[in-house]
Structure 1
Amino acid sequence: MDLRLLLFLFYATTTFCNGAKILALATHCLADAGHSVTVLETNDKKYARDFGHGIKTEHIYVPPDPRKTEDSKEIIWRSSRSGFYIAQVYNSVGDKALKMMIEYDPETFWRVVNGTWDLLVVDELFAVHGYGIASIHKRLNGTPYIVFSTTVMLNSDSMTNALGRCWVCRVHMFISSVAELIYKPTYFTHRLANFYQHFTEYIVQPFGMMHLRDLGINDFTWHQYFRGASAFLSDQIDNIGFPVPEGTEINNVGAMCSETNATLPNALEAFISDPKSKGLLLVCFLAI
């Protein structure tokens, strides 16, 4: 049987040279076995890459947008985003890219959309075009799709995927960076505020990916998307055991410190002030 596989690579966030070697190996094996493997590569490179092994490439050039880059930096590093802003995150990254794909190279885009595929592998995190194309083929043809590198879009998706995580114990992604707030699930008011943040994500969800309607999808939801996936592939060894033990003794805090120390310990001050370090501070996190 000739398996016609379509693999999405979005903005080079998942490439064969960093973080996707397992997927690359599987793809190469399929291609070497005589199956038809096609990669839809969408990025700001003007030429498609040669993945070898007889793998075909459909390349769509998306011009770099400095404004989008600055918007992304603002969202990720310099702001506190509540549940209402989750739509803005996807709109400023993946949805705008989808619009540009349709406008700049409609021939390639619609050729892929209207192609015949036996399996689709969708790269997350912001591959909005991937969500749309996979959903279309699933609805119209029953074509299975695999979600690569499962990233929980909404915190409630962990329940949809049966990951065994307690959303009450786990604080919402939004923690104020200006208020001295320590999330404690033992407090009713904290649980209520946490529920509010989760609930608002569902209210604004349809407004974050408006250009999916250009593909004929007017009712996209993460819940439906994850439930329709045939499998999940992960590139992190620690994600194999999805259930995560959690307790109420963990205190989640934001960027705001409740107490500010005026001076540093002498040893730490000497290390940071060392001219040889040039202000570079390395922090290592490890678990025993």
Structure 2
Amino acid sequence: MHFSKSHIISMQPLAEALSLRGHNVTIYAAMQGEAAMPTTMDNGVTGRWVNLPKASEEDTKRFSKMIWTMDFGPMVMAWPFNLGNQALTKILTKQPDAWWSVANETWDLIFADELFSQSSYAMALMSKQRHGKPFAVFSTADMLSTFASINSLGRNPAVNPSFYTSSEPFSFNATSLLDRFYVTKDFIVEYLSVGLLSEYQSRSGVGQLGFNDFTWSSYFKEAQLIISDYPERMNHPVPTGNEIINIGATCSVSNDKMTQELLSFVNDEKSRGTIYIAFGSNVQWDYAPEHVLDAFLTAIEALKEYRIIWSYKGPQLKVSNHVKILAWAPQIAILNHPKTKLFISHGGLKSLKEAICSATPVVFMSIFAEQTHNALICNQLGFAEYVNKHTVTGADLLRQARKVLENDAYLANVRKVKAMNNDRIMPPLEEDRMFLWLSDVGKRSLRETAKETFVCRRLAAGSRGRALCPGTTMAAARHVDDEAPKQLLSDQPHSAQPHATEYPLQQRSP
């Protein structure tokens, strides 16, 4: 998960839940050209970061333009995996001390990012090899078909929408031979891209740390659990396994409040409700095609009976008084405000979950990654409509917005999906079931290694341990070069940190 605050945000709820249960939790990530990240995060979680050089202006511009103009296909997946590989090489070459200061510590449990994070793969495997410590794979999106196949989950790619759903046609019908052909084709291409090419790239990366025989199969075989942040009850039915724990139904909590000025704006008595527009931090409006900006300006100008908040950074726009443009907006607070009627979004997973948790109908305009797939699922569930970024016009966007705003079925359906999402004995991160599963991981590892220092075992005992939730790279590793410094080859943790077993056992309050 190099260069991705999004993946860190996905991991944070679990990290905080573990911390609140008395464990020492660290998120370790490599960021590219970011401002200094806090070392102390919410609820006692510690952050440790490697800042890699910022991408060149030309590369940034190329990427920002690309996501507006291209469709996201399965062959593209090899590219971010290769970026993760390059990042690991840069870290080991230019900032080895930052990496090894974490790698030489002993972690009781590691959560390794599933996607694009060769640092995570190496640290997790090293920790298992050197210290017998278990690790879990953390999936920040729906599991790739390739990984589902490698884990023998028996998921038929022909009967579910593709992860790479096309924006045109925006549809999927399992009874259609043509639709089944296209999703099967995507699965085959993804397997070539991820299962073969990206595996080969990853082997060269983690091979720098001694794992020259790395394969996806051997990696997932070593993993004790797979934690998934995808809301499992909104997708098409798929086979799962006992080793998969879904925490995607967790609703985000934010302390950000709406300012008095913003509250006055949305509470205007003349307003029929609030429309909120936001496309995440990766979408740069500076590079949006002219027809997209024209479409948005035309549509919002025609919706004068509503108050519109647009989270926007880009060229200066001339808008009427019923529109408020903000460089940053308190998204969760706005979506949960009772006057909010519509969310216009790119379809990122966190925005999708926030729409469900706030019971807000959506009009999606997907930009990249699996966003079109997310939009299609929500459309099939009856609480969202869609416009195509390549062809959208003001009339298209206005028609879809009014369709959602003026038909109560969309609100009823999103409330139904929210009810299904929340219909649990308790929220996923509060379930003792999840921590009992983690305890079982520790017990199985204990039988395998005859050691008694696992955080998973301590979880059941209500005591403290240490965990590393990697938001990019992850846990402890060993250097295999004969000329490496002796302290890097030592099985002892870095001297700046105490060994996990030195923490006193503390009983958690009931």
User: Shorter-chain TM-score: what band?
Assistant: 0.5 to 0.7
Query: 1:97: which partner in 2?
Result: 87
Q: Which 5+ residue runs of structure 2 have no aligned equivalent?
A: 239-298, 305-317, 326-341, 345-360, 363-382, 384-413, 417-510
Tell me how far apart the structure 2 counterparts of residues 41 and 51 of structure 1 sit (CA, whole Å): 13
Among residues 268, 276, 279, which one is paired with 2:321 in the alignment? 276
**Per the alignment, in what secondary structure is the counterpart of residue 321 of structure 2?**
coil
The answer to whether residue 145 in structure 2 is matched with residue 113 in structure 1 is no
Query: 1:13: which partner in 2?
Result: 6
1:221/1:156 CA distance change after superposition, 3 Å: same
Shift in Å, 1:80:
1.7
Tell me how far apart the structure 1 counterparts of residues 174 and 94 of structure 2 sit (CA, whole Å): 48
Q: Amino acid of the residue matched to residue 302 of structure 2?
A: A
Q: Amino acid of the residue matched to residue 30 of structure 2?
A: T
1:153/1:222 contact within 8 Å kept:
no
**Per the alignment, in what secondary structure is the counterpart of residue 303 of structure 2?**
helix
Among residues 175, 181, 188, which one is paired with 1:192 in the alignment? 181
Query: 1:214: which partner in 2?
Result: 208
Tell me how far apart the structure 1 counterparts of residues 111 and 236 of structure 2 sit (CA, whole Å): 26
Tell me how far apart the structure 2 counterparts of residues 99 and 125 of structure 1 sit (CA, whole Å): 17
Tell me how far apart the structure 2 counterparts of residues 89 and 9 of structure 1 sit (CA, whole Å): 9
Q: Which stretch shifts more, 20-29 or 53-62? A: 53-62
1:204/1:136 CA distance change after superposition, 3 Å: farther
Tell me how far apart the structure 2 counterparts of residues 166 and 45 of structure 1 sit (CA, whole Å): 43
1:106/1:71 CA distance change after superposition, 3 Å: farther
**Per the alignment, in what secondary structure is the counterpart of residue 17 of structure 2?**
helix
Shift in Å, 1:20:
1.9
Among residues 12, 15, 32, which one is paired with 1:23 in the alignment? 15
Tell me how far apart the structure 1 counterparts of residues 158 and 85 of structure 2 sit (CA, whole Å): 30
1:119/1:143 contact within 8 Å kept:
yes
Shift in Å, 1:19:
6.5
Among residues 60, 63, 70, which one is paired with 1:79 in the alignment? 70
Query: 2:193: which partner in 1?
Result: 204
Tell me how far apart the structure 2 counterparts of residues 180 and 242 of structure 1 sit (CA, whole Å): 21
1:53/1:156 CA distance change after superposition, 3 Å: closer
Among residues 216, 223, 229, which one is paired with 2:223 in the alignment? 229
1:12/1:42 contact within 8 Å kept:
no
Shift in Å, 1:138:
3.0
Tell me how far apart the structure 2 counterparts of residues 268 and 64 of structure 1 sit (CA, whole Å): 35
TM-score by length of 2: 0.41
| CA deviation string 1:33-83 (max 9, x = no partner) | xxx654424223446613488866543222221455445545644322332
Query: 2:159: which partner in 1?
Result: 169
1:75/1:89 contact within 8 Å kept:
no
Tell me how far apart the structure 2 counterparts of residues 25 and 192 of structure 1 sit (CA, whole Å): 43
Tell me how far apart the structure 2 counterparts of residues 53 and 194 of structure 1 sit (CA, whole Å): 42
Q: Amino acid of the residue matched to residue 186 of structure 1?
A: T
1:164/1:242 contact within 8 Å kept:
no
**Per the alignment, in what secondary structure is the counterpart of residue 22 of structure 2?**
helix
Q: Amino acid of the residue matched to residue 5 of structure 2?
A: A
2:2/2:87 contact within 8 Å kept:
no
Q: Amino acid of the residue matched to residue 216 of structure 1?
A: G
Q: Amino acid of the residue matched to residue 232 of structure 1?
A: I
CA-atom RMSD, angstroms?
Answer: 4.2
1:221/1:186 CA distance change after superposition, 3 Å: farther
1:152/1:158 contact within 8 Å kept:
no
1:10/1:126 contact within 8 Å kept:
no
**Per the alignment, in what secondary structure is the counterpart of residue 212 of structure 1?**
helix
2:2/2:116 contact within 8 Å kept:
no
| CA deviation string 1:251-274 (max 9, x = no partner) | xxxxxxxxxxxxxxxx99831798
Q: Which residues of 2 match residues 141-152 of structure 1 at below 5 A?
A: 141-152=131-142
1:122/1:134 contact within 8 Å kept:
yes
Q: Which residues of 2 match residues 121-136 of structure 1 at below 5 A?
A: 121-136=111-126
Tell me how far apart the structure 1 counterparts of residues 59 and 143 of structure 2 sit (CA, whole Å): 20
Aligned residues: 254
Shift in Å, 1:105:
0.7
Shift in Å, 1:176:
4.2
Structure 1 or 2: more helix by fraction:
2
Q: Amino acid of the residue matched to residue 219 of structure 2?
A: Y
Tell me how far apart the structure 2 counterparts of residues 268 and 48 of structure 1 sit (CA, whole Å): 37
Tell me how far apart the structure 1 counterparts of residues 104 and 343 of structure 2 sit (CA, whole Å): 49
| CA deviation string 1:200-243 (max 9, x = no partner) | 2222334334423323334544444344322234556x34x597
TM-score by length of 1: 0.66
**Per the alignment, in what secondary structure is the counterpart of residue 99 of structure 2?**
helix
Q: Amino acid of the residue matched to residue 214 of structure 1?
A: Q
Shift in Å, 1:123:
3.8
Query: 2:30: which partner in 1?
Result: 42
**Per the alignment, in what secondary structure is the counterpart of residue 6 of structure 2?**
coil
| CA deviation string 1:128-183 (max 9, x = no partner) | 31122213333555421123354345224345567785421223233445x65754
2:81/2:115 contact within 8 Å kept:
no
Shift in Å, 1:120:
1.1
Identity %: 25
Q: Which of the pair has the greater relative contact order for Cα pairs under 8 Å at 6+ separation?
A: 2
